[in-house]
Structure 1
Amino acid sequence: MNLIERYLYAIKKYLPEEIREDAGKELRANIEDMLPVDYTDDDVYQVLMNLGSPRKLANEYNSQKRYLIGPGYYDNYISVLKKVIGMFVSVALSIAFLVWIVESPAYWYQVNNITKLFVNLITSGIAGVMQSALWVTIVFIILERTEVEVGYIPFFNKKWTPNDLPELPVDEKMRISRGETVFSMFFTILVTALLYFRPQLIALFRTGENGSIDITPLLDIDRLQFYIPVIIVLALVQLGMFIWKFIAEIWSLPLAILNAVYYAAICILVIMMLIDHALVNPEFISVLSSIAKVPIETVSAWIIKGKLIFGFAFIGMCAYDSARTLLRCISKPK
């Protein structure tokens, strides 16, 4: 276990990219000067304890705090902001375009209808940029002000010791998949946006008279409002976790525990929504019954079976991912 390399690796995460190499060389020289000639791991441990946590030592390279997002997080902030803005804008534009398709009249190609589409796309895009920038900035402000160490949770940070240093990124099993994280965040934004802004688009679409599109929502919109606050809170937690995973790059036990708690919370929410029979729009069942030419009771049975299959599959995937991550963190070499 090379504590010096791990310490340098950790501190570089908090330094601006342009000074990382020089600062790393300087710090390595300082550490070596503080060690005896034939030093042991215990000597290194004590020197690092005297130096303090990488987060606080990095602040000494930027002693004047006149910023909202400090240099330790700035590069990650810009990178995450670009990704999240892209996700928000993509979802907002997709929903706006889908709404226009559904609600557009037969003469959609007329100038006023095309103009309406572009206006909606522009306003939706601007709203997506503003919302994403707001929430990403809030998360990074929390990280900056709580001075949390990489891999740990804001407001629950314990006293730092060299044992808390992150492992060097050599174990691919402990590396957090950027692809999975980005996809998970995009899916969360998409589902949350649909449920909050346009739940009526989760529906049964039929071609009506005069070429119009008849929409029968799957969910009872009024009943859905009961769950919206919890959905929003969990989406914001997911955003915070996405940012923290992006910064940490590798799994730690606190992060794995938070991940498991989040999955448990989302599973509880899903179970509550699945067993809430009032959440399904009765008109949806009636329309589907008439289309399929089967009794309403049969359609209701189909929906119950679908809920069971979805519920077991969703909970199973969440449990598998949580257990896999926790076991990796618990069983990793000390």
Structure 2
Amino acid sequence: MDLIKPYVYEVTRRLPDKMQDDVALELQSTIEDMLPEHPSEEDVRAVLTNLGDPAVLARRYSDRPSYLIGPALYDQYLNVLKLVLPIIMIIVVISVVAEKILSFSGETSMLSIILSIFIQTLFAAASAGIQSVFWITVVFAIVERSTKSEEEPFGKAWTPDQLKNKPAIPKKRLISNWELAGGLLWTAVGVTVYLNASSLFAIYEQENSEGLNKAATVFNEEILGSFWPYIALLAGSSLALIIYKWVLKQWTIKLAVINTLYNVLWVILLSLMLSHPDLFNSAAVQELEGALQSDLSNLTQWVRLTVIITVVVFSGIDIFEGFKKAREGRKYKKLEVEQVDRTTEFLKRRL
């Protein structure tokens, strides 16, 4: 029985039409070269067994990956999921809890509120998580199929020479996933709070047991809204910095300088916003002054100054830590070079 033709057919039928004829000729020639001059059926069986399953061999000929996300991208795919999903879950929980607190009427038992928050959070988190996984998977699948099989993602063919440009990163210089996740969380929560400031920072009054009604917002919505382009610019800069950290994977002097510029931008924007004379809603201030029977002009100034000083201190610490980590990495590299030089000199003396 001729086993060669069925084997070639089983391979080529799994390939695109434009490849089938060329692969059939190549595979037929390969099999004939592997066989002795007068092959027996056992010889043919041995050669076909050596070539392996036709389905597996067809995947080797095909340019299309047989997996959704291949090994070259899989670790990065998991890292992105580990970064994004916890942040989304936290934002969902904060949103649901805030909504329940603001809609609380006082007539519902605490147990019912807790159960309602738990159920609503569960469904909202599941929905947001599924959508996030779906779109992240789609992006990585597109990247997987937009590069050639002999290349790494983003079109860079791997060679051992690339190891020369990828030295081991000292631990003190390494940018951890937790650091990246913290930056993403801070940006996401900050933008969420800004966009919902009119609901989160407001004076509520209860009327006729129908829940809480907003009496006045703490911040002037018109003034707060005028800063949105700058907030969007700051959020975009933060995301760009986080992506750059993710690509770089270590602190460098250049990264520390960029981080300094970002912190300076953040401090300037916040200072301009908080120092605006009409930032606080006069109606809300009057409501609080009437309720507390006290002049709050000094309190608002104290709040502005306290927030600005706190942000300046934490930004300064972040800037200092960035340069410290970058310099520690350079010291480590210098010590490593000196150790190699000493080892080389020792070997020369011994030889």
- For normalisation by structure 2, the TM-score amounts to 0.55
Cα shift at 1:176: 1.7
Distance 1:245 1:142 in 2: 23
SS of the residue aligned with 1:225? helix
1:191 Cα deviation after fit: 1.8
Q: Return the offset for 1:88.
A: 1.2
Alignment match, 2:188: 189
1:94 Cα shift?
A: 1.9
Q: Distance in 2 between matches of 1:182 and 1:232?
A: 19
Structure 2 unmatched runs, 5+: 1-61, 148-153, 155-160, 335-351
* Matching residue of 1:203: 201
Q: Amino acid of the residue matched to residue 273 of structure 2?
A: M
Q: How does 1:227-266 map to 2 (within 5 A)?
A: 227-246=227-246, 248-266=248-266
Distance verdict in 2 for CA 1:279–1:203, change over 3 Å: same
Aligned to 1:88: 88
CA offset digits 1:289-327 (Å, max 9, x no partner): 334432143333323433443343244334434443554
- Give the corresponding residue for 1:303: 303
Matched, 1:268 2:256: no
Change in 2 beyond 3 A, CA 1:279/1:301: closer
Distance 1:261 1:143 in 2: 32
- Checking the alignment, whether the CA contact within 8 Å between 1:69 and 1:144 is kept in structure 2 is yes
State the partner residue of 2:226.
Answer: 226
Closer/same/farther in 2, CA of residues 144 and 299 from structure 1, 3 Å limit: farther
- Taking the TM superposition and a 5 Å limit, the aligned residue runs for 1:16-95 are 71-95=71-95
CA contact under 8 A between 1:206 and 1:213: conserved in structure 2? yes
Corresponding position of 2:23: none
Per the alignment, do residues 193 and 114 of structure 1 end up closer, same or farther by CA in structure 2, a change over 3 Å counting? same
Structure 1 segments unaligned to the other structure (5+ residues): 1-62, 148-153, 155-160
> Percent sequence identity over matched residues?
22
Which amino acid in the other structure matches residue 225 of structure 1? G
Give the number of the structure whose alpha-carbon radius of gyration is greater: 2
Residue equivalent to 2:286: 286
Give the alignment's TM-score, normalised by structure 1: 0.58
CA distance in 1, matches of 2:277, 2:120: 35
Contact preservation (8 Å) 2:267, 2:312: no
Which residue identity does 2:256 align to in structure 1?
Answer: A
Query: What CA distance in whole angstroms lies between the structure 2 residues aligned with 1:80 and 1:324?
Result: 27
Task: Quote the offset at 1:137 in angstroms.
Answer: 7.4
Higher relative contact order (CA 8 A, sep 6+): 1
Shift of 1:168: 0.7
CA gap of 1:68–1:199, structure 2 versus 1, over 3 A, is: farther
CA RMSD of aligned residues (A): 4.5
Match in the other structure for 2:100: 100
Whether the 8 Å CA contact 1:285–1:299 is kept in 2: the answer is: no
Residue 174 of structure 1 is matched in structure 2 by 173
Matching of residue 317 in structure 1 with residue 344 in structure 2:
no
Structure 2: distance between partners of 1:185 and 1:74: 21
The AA in structure 1 aligned to 2:182 is F
Does the 8 Å contact 1:96/1:121 carry over to 2?
yes
What SS does the aligned partner of 1:174 have?
A: coil
Match of 1:58 in 2: none
Kept in 2: contact 1:205–1:213 (CA 8 A): no
Closer/same/farther in 2, CA of residues 248 and 301 from structure 1, 3 Å limit: closer
Letter in 2 for 1:191: G
The verdict on how the C-alpha distance between 1:296 and 1:109 changes in structure 2, with shifts beyond 3 A counting, is closer
Q: CA separation in 2, counterparts of 1:128 and 1:277?
A: 39
Q: CA deviation at 1:87?
A: 0.9
Residue-by-residue CA offset, 1:158-211 (whole Å, 9 max, x unaligned) = xxx979824313x23212244333223222222222222x21354266775677
Q: CA deviation at 1:81?
A: 1.9
- Cα distance in 2 for partners of 1:90, 1:210 equals 34
Q: Secondary structure at the match of 1:167?
A: coil
Paired residue type of 1:278: D
Alpha-carbon distance in 1 for matches of 2:261, 2:143: 20
Matched length:
259
